[in-house]
Amino acid sequence: MKFKDFQNDKKPREKAIKYGIASLTDEELLAIILRTGTKEKNVLLLARDIIDTFKGIENFNQIEFNSLIKIKGIGKSKALELVTCLELTKRIKLVNKQFQYAKIIWPEDVFNLVKDYYEDLKHEHFYLLLLNNQNKLIHQNLLYKGTHDSLKVDIKDILYLAITYRANKIICIHNHPGGDSEASFADLKITQELKKQLKIFEITLLDHIIIGWENYYSINLNKKYLFPIDK
């Protein structure tokens, strides 16, 4: 059935306007983002293809641009729009949690702040938290995306952000998609070098936290060469 043949109150946009956005099914919500289908499939069927490909919307946090464009009917434009919406959703969740955990005292506070963002990610992501002297969060930034088991970090980028936002303290976070949160030798090496460079600018590296599957590893708590988190 062609999309134009649907009754108006069955079309996602018209249905949302008439009955409210909450009345829409998962396919209909996704169809609004996609806007159009293909010659072979209307937009609702295309939306269903995406949902089926990722085995339900509960797995949408795994969606990446390159995996989307492999689906027939999804070009670069549609893929970019969808991953943009998903990234915005993640950031909204993170900002909402920012107010709940506005002051960072313990590594567990950091884990609670970012665990939803890192859930089910297939590649390493490096996140930076910038804090003032009272350990209050003033800015957060996703700096890098790596591969399944590696991540390239440039200390100059971290220094630039810390100085730009006049941070007194920072916390680094990245994930191990394989599930084991324990720090690798490379993790310890970059942490030690970053701590040394930050000290030149009188900025404290509070911690480098590694996220695994439902757990985390605090280099600060497990290694003695970092400054302790202020109470």
Strands 204-211 and 216-218: antiparallel
* 4-60 per-position pLDDT tens digit: 555 555 688 998 998 888 888 999 999 999 999 998 899 999 999 999 999 999 888
State both tokens at 24.
């829409």
Identify any residues that bridge with 205 across adjacent strands, giving them in sequence order: 170
| pLDDT bracket for residue 115 (50, 70, 90) | confident
Mean pLDDT rounded to a whole number for the chain: 87
CA 145: distance to chain centroid?
10
130 in Cβ contact with 88 (< 8 Å): no
Strands 204-211 and 169-175: parallel
Helix intervals (H) in 129-184: 155-164
Q: What is the largest CA-CA distance in the chain?
A: 68
99 in Cβ contact with 123 (< 8 Å): no
Strands 125-131 and 204-211: unpaired
* 121-153 per-position pLDDT tens digit: 888 999 999 999 999 888 888 888 888 888 899
213 in Cβ contact with 200 (< 8 Å): no
What distance in Å separates the CA atoms of residue 52 and residue 44, rounded to the nearest whole number? 12
